[in-house]
Amino acid sequence: MAGDTQTISEYIVHHLTNLTYGKLPAGFERDDGSIVGDGGAWVMAHGGDEAAAMGFSAIHVDSMAWSIGLGIFFCWLFRGVAKKAESGVPSGVLNLVEMIVEFVDNTVRDTFHGKNKLVAPLALTIFVWVFLMNLMDLIPVDLIPSLLSLAGVHFQKIVPSTDPNITMGMALGIFILMLYYSVKVKGFGFVKELTMNPFNHWVFIPVNLFMEVVGLLAKPFSLGLRLFGNMYAGEMIFILIAALFSAGIAWAVPAGLLQVGWAIFHILVITLQAFIFMVLTIVYLSMAHEDH
C-alpha cells in the first residue's frame, strides 16, 4: 500500500526500481551528500540516478536472485517428483508434473521436426521456469518489499520477467542455439540461405542478406520483448491498483475487487506468455534444423 510519506508517482517509481549493485564513477555525488573517491566504488544503488551512473557494470541483484532461486526450486521440485514416480496412478503434485511433462512432450512432437535430444528438456525448462517467474506477479506488490525493508533492503522487484535484462538474456541464449544448430545442421547451406533467399540470383545477394539478417535478429528481440512487455504492463496495473488504497477508505472496496479481478485474469496471461515463449523457442530451433 502506498505510504503516507510518498506521492503516487514516488510510490510507482519505487516499485519499478531494481535493487542494483555496481560501480559508481569517481567524483559522483550520492544522495546522502557523500562524494565517491578516486577509483570509484562498488556499492548498492540508492536510487535510479545512481543505478544509471553505474552503467553496464550494474547488476540487478533482485532479478538475478529471484530468477536463479526459482530455477533451483524448479530443479528441486521436479527431481523430487521424478524420484517418487511409480507405475501406479499418480496423485497430487506427481500428477500435475506428469501432466506438464506430457503437455510439453506433445507440443515438441507436433512442432519440432528435427532430431535433437536437447529440445524437449529445454522446452520443459523454459515453460516451467518462465511460468514460475511470471507467477511471482500474483504476490501482493507491497508484501515482500515491505518485509525486506525491515532488513534495510529499500528496493525489491520480485518478478524477474519484468526485467528486460532477464528476458533478453534468455532470448539471447535461444539465439545462440539457433545459430549453432543452423551452422551444425546446414553447414555452408546456412550461408546460402542468408544470401540466396528470397531472390535466387547473385545480383540480389546484398538485398537478400539484409532482409535475412534483419529477420534473423528480429527473432530474439521479439522473443524477449514480448514477454517483458506483457509482464511489465501487468505489474504496472497491479501497482496502480495498489496505489488506490492510499486514496481513502472509499476506494478500498473497489481497489480490492479490481485487484482480485485482475489477478484472476492475469493467471491466463502468465500461463499464455510462458507457453508462447516455449513454442517460439521450439519453432525457431526447428527452423534451424531444416536443411532442405
Q: What residues are annotated to the active site?
A: 222, 226, 230
Cα distance between residue 20 and residue 59, in whole Å: 6
CA 87 remoteness from chain centre: 36
Looking at the chain, how many residues does it have?
Answer: 292
If you ran DSSP here, which 8-state letter would residue 41 be given? E
Please give the backbone phi and psi of residue 43, each rounded to the nearest 5 degrees, phi first. -145, 170
The residue whose grid cell reads 496505489 is 243
